[in-house]
Amino acid sequence: MKNNIDIKKVAIDTFELEAKNILSLSERIDDDFVKVVESILSLNGRVIITGIGKSAIIAQKIVATLNSTGTPSIFMHAADAIHGDLGIIQQEDLIIAISKSGNTPEIKVLVPFLKQTNNKLVAIVGNRNSFLAEQADYILDTTITREACPNNLAPTTSTTVQLAMGDAIAVALQTKRQFSDRDFAKYHPGGALGKQLYLRVGDLSDNNGLPVVEPSKDIRSVIISITQFRLGATIVLDDEKILGIITDGDIRRMLEKYEDIANLTAKDIMSLNPKTIDRNELAVNALHTMRQFSISQLVVTNEGNYAGIIHIQDILKEGII
């Protein structure tokens, strides 16, 4: 074992080599890339992506990315395809085959069968002179200078470049479709990411009740209102107009300021101009506002009228942070 190897340098060299090869893809984005994107945009079927070995793993990731951004896609393992999985392919589908060499035995067996289906065949391939490239309708060239592997054997640079090409296709499709964050949320309804994109303030505040006191109410009534709803605050309303907010902090500051609180009312201790948010705003925007002003709750409104309170704990419970 060589103990004098600079481990940090190995990592940096790996990054630099892979980055250089990714950047070199820019010189190979030609009309075939444009035609592939346009073909997918006009597709009535799905994108079928196939590969063998490490290329198959990259194919699965590209399929996941395309599905999550609005392009129906299916992974088909190259080895399984010739043992029955060719039935996945339908007439309107487009096929993408990923291979570094373009000459693996599985690809050589599979490609003639793919050609028989008359589906458009796209090759993401690292060898323009390969069997796969010669048979493909469109070539996306992912040729590399060498693998990051010190023996130039293990797929490292090649798979990174394949992945980057897949990302470029997905992003081009998103951009052409004007795929918005709302669209993205449709495909990511679960987990923190999905909740950031679809969960509304009203979805949380509607469960909290409506703590409220009139401006003339005494301090006992204020404390009861705050305690009853467990939101750390109550709203001071005059008819339908929001006059202010009283929080736990306002109660503490009152006790520090006044010796005698017997004659104090809600109006005497409330904070004016409380921060508000519309119930239709995204809950994650409520979190941003709370962080900006270092507060724990916001007054929720609906068309300007008081509609409740959202507390930072409501957001924490949903796992948005």
Residues annotated in the binding site for Zn(2+), as ranges?
77
121-125 vs 138-141, strand pairing mode: parallel
The pair of three-digit structure tokens given for residue 321, joined into one six-digit string:
């942070």
Residue 298, C-beta contacts closer than 8 angstroms, at least 6 positions apart: 201, 274, 275, 276, 277, 286, 289, 290, 309, 310
The pair of three-digit structure tokens given for residue 250, joined into one six-digit string:
């306002």
Positions at the binding site: 77
DSSP symbols for 90-126: -TT-EEEEEESSS--HHHHHHHHHHHHTT--EEEEES
DSSP symbols for 241-262: EEEEEEEHHHHHHHHHH-S--T
212-213 vs 233-238, strand pairing mode: parallel
Nearest CA among 159, 50, 158, 49 for reference residue 106: 50
